[in-house]
Chains A and B, each alone.
Chain A
Amino acid sequence: MTEKKALKTESGLSLYHPLVSFGYFVAVIAGTLLFIHPYFVLISLGCALLSAAMINGKKMFLASLGFGIPMFIFIALANPLFNHRGATILFYLFDNPVTKEAIIYGIVSAGMMFAAVIWFTCYNTVVTSDKFIYIFGRVLPSVALIISMTLSLIPRLMAQIKVIADTQRSIGLDWKSGSLMHRIRAGARILSILVSWALEDAVITADSMRARGYGQHKRSTFSIFRFGKRDGIMLSIIVLLFAAEVAAYITGAGTMEFYPAIVAPKTEFIDILFYIAYAALGIIPAAIQMKEELKWKQLK
């Protein structure tokens, strides 16, 4: 999986400093989870889908829809079934009232979760694990190093599992056939063999690391990230728009009454400004991508 990511050419938001791209997703996902409000959810979902379509590639985008849409339907249905608040009772289901407010709230919160999931798929494309570790390596160096070690071990373990499973099959212990209990036992056996192999290997790695001076100096990172003027400008824009989000929440523009009865969302001048600011934040990845593509076409 990591190999595929490495092959993909970096573009758009990926080219910015990790602090910028990570900060961007913190701001946009926080905003998504903050506002249970139809307009904000609509803006967030629209921007998330646009960004995902542009940066994730077609296959991943469709896969995220395949997961997101059923989840959307599930949450939208679950809320009126579990939640019986609200003034307008539409009908009774198994002696429990189903209200109009709960249905609408369910759709809005389902949209919010849908948007959050789509934003996370964009996060996965842009903030690769080396960037994540670069950021956390400053705060929690040992923990970040363990994470990076774990991530690098997984592909090696997967390859080794295949070797062990093939060997086991050749002596008649196939984990892919037989009863469920047999498969579980055979699977556990494979994992046991894997543990013995991996532990021994790992401690040797540790000794090798010590021999090469691990822990003597400050650690360097594989990727070199430079925080330039462009990153500074982008980070300032993100912080500014995030501040607008917080202001929208504090002044109450980003919240809406659902219970007992729905109050229509406000559309005063200041609210429109908040919607615009939020949309501006959401559109950033798509805008950068589009600007790059235009530039590329002009230069060609």
Chain B
Amino acid sequence: MATGAKNYGLISMIMVILAMVPFLMLYEMKKPQAREWIPLAVMAAIAAVGRAAFAFVPHFKPTSAIIVITAMVFGPEAGFLTGAISALASNLFFGQGPWTPWQMFAWGLIGFLAGLLSKHGLLKKKRQLVLFGIACGYIYGWILNIWSGAGFVYGLSWQSYISLCITSLIPDGIHAAATVIFLLLLSDSWGAKLRRVKQKFGILAS
């Protein structure tokens, strides 16, 4: 095997794409009906549009909050799908690039975790929601830092990864703050809207 500069860029990118496959297969195997997945397409589109609408404040995006709210109502698999698709779709505005799979995975994971936590009743209190909102900003930022590290710096080391995370503390903090603000502003009313649609049309009931 080659002895020169090991290339983490491509390897990490292939790994992150493969990491998404089980989540997507999980959803695919459910053979979802149209009315089950259409609300997810709507929410992913709104998350993408929201990201573009708030582009006037750097790093301040409602996308994570919208994904979390959707996942809280529709569950972990649906949350992953909504997150991944909103990243893919919003890059229509921001440009696709080698970062697209990372953003898909990061937002997918946020959706999956939100669905999982909510399933076990861990996102009911406002305090829990605020904590998770803060976590979202950093989960997203730290996953994307893996890519920055793999792409830019030879031999991705813990030291360089940690220094990348330190440099991104403020942008990730703004993202975390945005997520908390939007969760507090929207979670009750949007949650009610989504639950109403879910109940009215019997989505995921059968």
Q: Are A209 and B34 in contact (CB under 8 A)?
A: yes
Report Cα–Cα, A9/B36, bound state, in Å. 37
Spell out B's residues near A (CB within 8 Å).
1-5, 7, 9-10, 13, 24-25, 27-28, 31-35, 37-46, 48-50, 53-54, 56-57, 60, 62, 66, 81, 85-86, 88-89, 92-93, 95-98, 151-155, 160, 163-164, 181-182, 185-186, 189-190, 193-194, 197, 200-201
Q: What residues on A are CB-neighbors of B31 within 8 Å? A: 142
Which stretch, A76-84, A223-231, A284-292, touches the partner chain B? A76-84
Q: Smallest Cβ distance from B200 to chain A, in angstroms?
A: 8
Q: Smallest Cβ distance from B108 to chain A, in angstroms?
A: 11
What are 12 A-to-B residue pairs whose CB atoms are below 8 Å? A30-B10, A143-B85, A146-B40, A147-B85, A150-B85, A157-B46, A184-B54, A184-B60, A192-B190, A203-B200, A210-B33, A210-B35
Q: Are A141 and B28 in contact (CB under 8 A)?
A: yes
What string of 1s and 0s marks CB contacts (under 8 Å) between A75-109 and chain B?
A: 10011001101000000000000000010011001
Q: Are B46 and A195 in contact (CB under 8 A)?
A: yes
Q: Smallest Cβ distance from B76 to chain A, in angstroms?
A: 15
What string of 1s and 0s marks CB contacts (under 8 Å) between A119-151 and chain B?
A: 011011000010000000000111101110111
> Main SS of the interface on chain A?
helix
Q: Which residue of A lies closest to B45 (CB)?
A: A153
User: Among the interface residues A33, A79, A190, A215, which one has the most CB atoms of the partner chain B within 10 A?
Assistant: A33
What string of 1s and 0s marks CB contacts (under 8 Å) between A208-220 and chain B?
A: 0110001100000
Q: What residues on B are CB-neighbors of A157 within 8 Å? A: 45-46, 49
- Give 5 nearest A-B pairs by CB, closest first: A255-B4, A206-B35, A153-B45, A149-B41, A33-B10
Q: What residues on B are CB-neighbors of A82 within 8 Å? A: 152-153, 160, 163-164
Q: Smallest Cβ distance from B44 to chain A, in angstroms?
A: 5
Q: Are B49 and A36 in contact (CB under 8 A)?
A: no
Tally the A-B contacts, defined by beta carbons under 8 Å.
204
Q: Are A257 and B153 in contact (CB under 8 A)?
A: no
Taking A83-B154, A185-B185, A255-B5 as contacts, is the C-beta distance between A142 and B37 under 8 angstroms?
Answer: yes
Q: Are A188 and B95 in contact (CB under 8 A)?
A: no
Taking A33-B13, A78-B152, A202-B39 as contacts, is the C-beta distance between A195 and B190 under 8 angstroms?
Answer: yes
Q: What residues on B are CB-neighbors of A205 within 8 Å? A: 38
Q: Are A191 and B62 in contact (CB under 8 A)?
A: yes
Q: Are B154 and A109 in contact (CB under 8 A)?
A: yes
